[in-house]
Amino acid sequence: MGDSVSGKSRRAVCPGSFDPVTNGHLDIIGRAAELYDELVVAVFVNRSKSSMFSVDERREMLLEVTAQYGNVRIDVFSGLVVDYCRHNDIPVIIKGLRAVSDFDYELQMAQMNRGLAGIDTLFMPTNPEYSFLASSLVKEIANWGGDVSRLVPPLVNKRLADRAEKRTDQV
């Protein structure tokens, strides 16, 4: 792939919390990886939002579950996503849209990011199989011992089960 005329490679970023990565994220990552020479999956460090997994754990899980894609790189960032894009020479942000309800906020962010730094956002419709899927729901279900094995990669399922077990031990 790549742009044989300018010699530039095509790069994009998939930013998110990935707390933890789900099959819905993986669907978008896999499809975006086919469209770009390099896809950076960037874990946002949000100090004002409490997370279940540390940034290192989220990064590790992403590394393992995307190992099959030769052109996917995992990174961590804090601050504005557009600053991350500028510093890393990435012209486009890829976002998955599950339903119309995602669109309002995503459009607002996309327009803000375009206005701030001229960075465009491309929306990719989520596979309908995952349109209801959210990391927050996965965590809640797993915390109460529910089965999330069809919603997350096996490695993540194991990590969630370990957490739930530890939690039960403490009660």
DSSP state of 61: H
* Region 17-76 residues binding ligand PNS, contact defined as CB under 6 A: 17, 44
Cβ-Cβ contacts under 8 Å for 134 (sequence gap 6 or more): 22, 24, 98
- Among 59-67, 68-76, 108-116, 145-153, which window interacts with ligand PNS (CB under 6 A)? 108-116
Place of tokens 């790549």: 2
Shorter beta-carbon distance to ligand PNS: residue 89 or 169: 89
Distance (Å, rounded) from C-alpha 51 to C-alpha 48?
10
Q: Look up residue 151 and give its two tokens.
A: 């919603």
Q: How many Cβ atoms sit within 10 Å of the Cβ of residue 13?
A: 27
- 95 noted as active-site residue: no
Q: Which CB, 63 or 112, lies closer to ligand PNS?
A: 112
Catalytic residue among 58, 59, 95, 98: 98
Task: Give the tokens for residue 19.
Answer: 């707390």
Q: From the candidates 6, 47, 48, 49, give the one annotated as an active-site residue.
A: 49
Is 81 a residue that touches ligand PNS (CB under 6 A)?
yes
Residue 168 C-beta: closest distance to ligand PNS, Å: 27
Annotated catalytic residue 49: yes
Q: CA nearest 137: which of 160, 155, 166, 154?
A: 160
Name the E strands within the chain.
11-16, 38-44, 72-77, 92-97, 120-125
- Which of positions 109-168 make contact with ligand PNS (CB under 6 A)? 109, 112-113
Check if 78 is active-site: no
Catalytic residue, chosen from 25, 58, 95, 139, is 25
- Catalytic residue (choose from 95, 135, 139, 159): 135
Q: Active-site positions?
A: 25, 49, 98, 135
Site of interaction with ligand PNS (CB under 6 A)? 15-17, 44, 80-81, 109, 112-113
